[in-house]
Amino acid sequence: MQKPEELARRIAELAEDEKAIDTQILDIAELTIIADYFVICSGRNVIHVKSIAENIDQKMRAAGLPPVRHEGLEQGRWAVMDFGSVIVHVFRDEEREYYNLEDLWRDAPRLQAENH
């Protein structure tokens, strides 16, 4: 079984593979019981958001790690995927700015997403 931090980093890599914008990994383990990490990123438009989310979904399923649940994949404005210990948020820029999860969870330590 993959450690939560490794899972979060892998998901961030998959987002980066689709040219996600400003990928952030927040360590929320000490702040809430809902998950250990948030992976937050943006797409330029609805199509880009869908592409990022679909890549994560497909590659994680292929690895035998499907999301427990997901919402918003069809609309492409804010896709959320729950992988148990990691919750992924893929936003369109406007929604990310409006909901501002990074500020809401400002006390969460940030992990460096590895760009490749």
pLDDT digits (tens, 9 = 90+) for 46-65: 999 999 999 999 999 999 99
- Asked if residue 106 is part of any domain, the answer here is yes
- Asked if residue 21 is part of any domain, the answer here is yes
Tell me what pLDDT residue 2 has.
77
- Asked if residue 34 is part of any domain, the answer here is yes
CATH number at residue 44: 3.30.460.10
Label the pairing between strands 78-82 and 86-92: antiparallel
Average pLDDT over residues 7-15: 97
> Structural domain of residue 21, as residue ranges?
4-111
This prediction has a pTM of: 0.93
Tell me what pLDDT residue 114 has.
58
Residue 116 has pLDDT above 50, yes or no: no
Q: How far is CA 44 from CA 5, 8, 30, in A?
A: 26, 22, 32
Report the number of distinct structural domains present in the chain. Answer: 1
- Asked if residue 13 is part of any domain, the answer here is yes
Q: How far apart are alpha carbons 81 and 112 in whole angstroms?
A: 20
Residue 86's pLDDT band (cuts 50, 70, 90)? very high
Residue 1 has pLDDT above 70, yes or no: no
Mean pLDDT value across the chain: 94
- Asked if residue 116 is part of any domain, the answer here is no
